[in-house]
Chain A
Amino acid sequence: QKEVEQDPGPLSVPEGAIVSLNCTYSNSAFQYFMWYRQYSRKGPELLMYTYSSGNKEDGRFTAQVDKSSKYISLFIRDSQPSDSATYLCALFNSGGYQKVTFGTGTKLQVIP
């Protein structure tokens, strides 16, 4: 079983739609939960991170973590064409092996 499972998509939505991106994980030791955004031909960049369970909002983006279900989500409201990118969930356990574990990424296209 993979440590992190992420639906690869691709996901195609019209401009203005609400987008939901999700990951499940198996290791309950993960403490930090992140979403990275990767534009075509670019390196990933950190979009949001959350420590432990709960919600975190930043503008049109909301990250949600449910540690009891081992499920993390990223919601994008009022999606824009500039949101078209691959979104990678990432998990980290600061007490363990110094490695950030990434999902395989979901490719999102927002159509004008």
Chain B
Amino acid sequence: EAQVTQNPRYLITVTGKKLTVTCSQNMNHEYMSWYRQDPGLGLRQIYYSMNVEVTDKGDVPEGYKVSRKEKRNFPLILESPSPNQTSLYFCASSFGGSRIDTGELFFGEGSRLTVL
């Protein structure tokens, strides 16, 4: 089954404790992206990757890191989480070589993160 898999789905952590949210897709997509979803603000892009070893900042990259060492995986790293990073996070992937063609994104089921 074609899918984007995120882990963990739910996480409660404390300020400053490094964490990683993993994302893996099995559709051989070259484009991958992370979004956060907050009430009243909608989906905002954090980082995206056009291909292996190619990443770039989205609209809200502060406090996050990413890496793309393999085509299928795109982990999101919070080096020192703070309460304002409490949110619902989505990983998404898309077709496309050097660019997305139409904007169709395939999303994971989300990771709800709470930072105390």
Contacts and interface: CB of A to CB of B under 8 A. Distances in A.
Contacts of A94: 99-103
22 contacts: A32-B102, A43-B4, A43-B92, A43-B109, A43-B110, A44-B105, A46-B104, A46-B105, A90-B103, A91-B103, A92-B100, A92-B102, A94-B100, A94-B101, A94-B103, A98-B31, A99-B33, A99-B45, A99-B48, A99-B58, A100-B103, A102-B43
A34 B104 contact: yes
Nearest to B40: A104
Interface bracket on A: 20 to 34
Contact of A42 (B35, B59, B102, B109): B109
Contacts, number: 62
Contacts of B35: 102
B50 interface: yes
B103 A44 contact: no
Given A34-B104, A44-B107, A100-B45, 15 more contacts: A42-B109, A43-B92, A46-B104, A49-B103, A49-B104, A51-B102, A88-B42, A88-B43, A92-B100, A92-B103, A94-B101, A98-B48, A99-B45, A99-B59, A102-B43
A100 B58 CA distance: 10
Interface in B16-72: 31, 33, 35, 40-43, 45, 48, 50, 58-59
B74 interface: no
Interface in A79-106: 88, 90-92, 94, 98-100, 102-105
A98 B99 contact: yes
